[in-house]
């Protein structure tokens, strides 16, 4: 009985050590989740995560500000953005075909009727498929589980670029008219 009690005592010690390790891992996971949420919430670029069924699973405040739509989470992106918007078409292509869009510029019409230019990067999110035998990942067939959309409001920058092009055109027109006037004067 003494040896059995010794084995039971060691098992209890191991059980307590496992419980301590489990608690430490749980706390580490919670801290990582809090950090991830803080980074996402405070980043200046808009971030929208869409799952494979087309439901927005996560969106940060910058995305809501860029789109001028509040309460994006748990809603279908096609209903929020409209079926024919360029952003909807890009997200659909990403979810359907796994297509990636890098640094594209799209026009977005807010619900208030304001036109905005958004710089958008959209990429698919893949999850490796697990092999049933050994539990190892097979590199051949990852599963598309959603799309990640990063966006920035480029409206002011686009406006400034248009103004610069307009001023450059006016300057070229002014130089051309001065040259014509000079030729008339010489003639």
Phi, psi of 47 (to 5 degrees): -130, 125
Under a CB-based contact definition with an 8 Å cutoff, are residues 99 and 93 in contact? yes
Note the helical H segments in 43-132: 61-67, 77-81, 86-97
What mean pLDDT is reported for the chain?
89
pLDDT digits (tens, 9 = 90+) for 121-149: 999 999 887 666 555 655 567 899 999 99
The whole-angstrom separation of Cα 185 and Cα 174 is: 16
What's the whole-model pTM score? 0.70
Tokens describing residue 74: 């748990």
Q: Is the pLDDT of residue 5 over 60?
A: yes
Tokens describing residue 134: 């050994």
For residue 130, the SS3 value is: strand
Residue 174: half-sphere exposure toward Cβ, Cα within 13 Å = 6
pLDDT digits (tens, 9 = 90+) for 61-87: 999 999 999 999 999 999 999 888 999
Looking at the chain, the whole-number percentage of residues with pLDDT higher than 90 is: 62
Strand arrangement of the beta sheet that strand 56-59 belongs to:
56-59, 46-51, 137-153, 115-130, 101-109
């Amino acid at each position: 009985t003494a040896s059995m009690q010794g084995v039971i005592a060691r098992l209890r010690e191991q059980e307590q050590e496992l419980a301590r390790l489990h608690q430490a891992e749980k706390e580490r996971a919670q801290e990582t989740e809090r950090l991830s949420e803080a980074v996402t919430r405070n980043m200046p670029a808009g971030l929208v995560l869409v799952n494979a069924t087309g439901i927005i699973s996560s969106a940060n405040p910058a995305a809501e500000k860029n789109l001028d739509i509040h309460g994006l989470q748990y809603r279908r992106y096609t209903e929020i953005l409209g079926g024919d918007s360029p952003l909807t078409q890009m997200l659909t292509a990403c979810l359907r075909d796994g297509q990636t869009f890098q640094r594209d510029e799209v026009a977005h019409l807010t619900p208030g009727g304001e036109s905005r230019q958004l710089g958008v990067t959209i990429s698919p999110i893949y999850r490796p498929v697990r092999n049933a035998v050994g539990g190892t990942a097979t590199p051949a067939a990852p599963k598309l589980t959603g799309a990640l959309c990063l966006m920035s409001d480029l409206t002011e920058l686009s406006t400034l670029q248009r103004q610069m092009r307009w001023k450059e055109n006016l300057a070229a027109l002014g130089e051309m008219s001065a040259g014509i006037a000079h030729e008339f004067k010489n003639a």
